[in-house]
Chain A
Amino acid sequence: MTARGTGALMSVTYEIVAGDFVRAGEAASKLKRVLQQLGLDPTIIRRAAIATYEAEMNIVIHSYGGHISVDITCDSIEILCEDSGPGIPDIEKALQEGYSTASEDVREMGFGAGMGLPNIRRSADDFSIESRIGQGTRLQVRILHRAGE
């Protein structure tokens, strides 16, 4: 984790390693702690934790690795997830509940319900996803909040 000096109240970046199922979830857990320390509303924290966890798992499972950068401003949480990887050929399809290309091995661990991206979309006030085949995926989530409320 590194802290950057921007106009945001706080900025953090987490590196996500592909295939590391033991550390997977740590970025979301660390972000949750940061948001708790900032005194944000538990419902807002929950939404940010869900979105970050699902994006983190998608990087672990479906990409070759990437990072998640979060800017917390006085009225929003901006979560940017970038990975290098195969990309998503059909984003519309990937957003459908139940659609998954997860392998049998990861399904046995309880991943691959095809609910990650739908969970992210439901958690977000703004959501955008861009992907380039053979290069990677970029996911942006904005959650609005009012600091200290």
Chain B
Amino acid sequence: MQLQAIIEALSLSACEEPVENSEVRGGYCSDLLSDVMGKAAPRSIWVTNQAHPNVIAVASLIDAAAVIIAGGIQLEAGTMQKAREMAIPVFATDMPAFEVVGRLYELGVRGTVRGV
């Protein structure tokens, strides 16, 4: 599914603009960085409550399609800067993580796990 369709359905406002025609192949939800690192499949949309810059490094390394920072958590300035540098689409939303994941599931996004 296209990232653009998700952005519209969830009324997400971009902290960092997504690249066009970005494809989302699944989703992953976790706040433990090593868990995401080891298990999230490429092109996943990652839902988390973590908002510090290292989130962007992880997202880039696992080829995440986008990061949604849920729960109304304020992004650190360094996070936005890093997202721009690494061209990772990042969205912050007031919706709690449960709600975000539920809506993504409704849209047809499924959890994906990929072993190392």
* B-binding residues in A (CB < 8 A): 21-22, 24-26, 28-29, 32, 42, 46-47, 49-50, 53-54, 57, 109-111, 113-116, 118-119, 122-123
Contact = CB atoms under 8 A, between A and B. Distances in A.
Best-surrounded residue of A42, A47, A113, A123 (most CB of chain B within 10 A): A113
Contacts of B116: 46-47, 50, 119, 122-123
Nearest to B85: A29
A47 B48 CA distance: 23
A25 B88 CA distance: 14
B84 to A, nearest CB: 14
Interface stretch (B16-24, B27-35, B91-99): B27-35
Interface stretch (B3-11, B54-62, B65-73, B102-110): B54-62
A50 B38 contact: yes
A109 B52 contact: yes
B44 interface: no
Given A21-B52, A122-B116, A113 B35 contact: yes
A24 B54 contact: yes
A111 B33 contact: yes
A9 B24 CA distance: 35
B86 A29 contact: yes
Interface of B: 31-35, 37-38, 42, 48, 50, 52-55, 57-58, 60-63, 78, 82, 86, 115-116
Contacts of B37: 50, 53-54, 115, 119
A28 B37 CA distance: 12
Nearest to B76: A22
A46 B42 CA distance: 9
Nearest to B32: A113
Given A22-B78, A119-B38, A50 B53 contact: no
23 contacts: A21-B52, A21-B54, A22-B78, A22-B82, A25-B54, A25-B58, A29-B86, A42-B42, A46-B42, A46-B116, A50-B38, A50-B61, A53-B37, A53-B61, A110-B54, A110-B55, A115-B34, A115-B37, A115-B38, A119-B37, A122-B115, A122-B116, A123-B116
A53 B38 CA distance: 11
Given A22-B53, A25-B57, A29-B61, A118 B38 contact: yes
A141 B3 CA distance: 36
B80 to A, nearest CB: 12
Contact of A119 (B34, B42, B63): B34
